[in-house]
């Protein structure tokens, strides 16, 4: 039982780290998308 709890704790820590890293990455992508969005039609992107 204790090993499962330790595993859960580790898993949550990994998820938090991934969320922080991936979250900042998503934010960068979203900002780039907002910059691209106005001339998206001109670029011929769907």
Nearest-angstrom CA–CA distance, 10 and 33: 34
pLDDT tens, residue by residue, 1-46: 688 899 999 999 999 999 998 888 988 988 888 887 666 555 555 5
Residues 6+ away with beta carbon under 8 Å from 36: 43, 45
What pLDDT is attached to residue 13? Answer: 95
Tell me the pTM.
Answer: 0.44
Q: Where are the domains of the chain?
A: 2-41
Please name the residue that has the structure tokens 């998308």: 33
């Amino acid at each position: 039982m204790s090993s499962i709890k330790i595993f859960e704790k580790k898993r949550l820590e990994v998820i938090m780290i991934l969320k922080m890293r991936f979250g900042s990455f998503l934010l960068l992508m979203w900002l780039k998308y907002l910059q691209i969005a106005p001339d998206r039609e001109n670029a011929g992107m769907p």
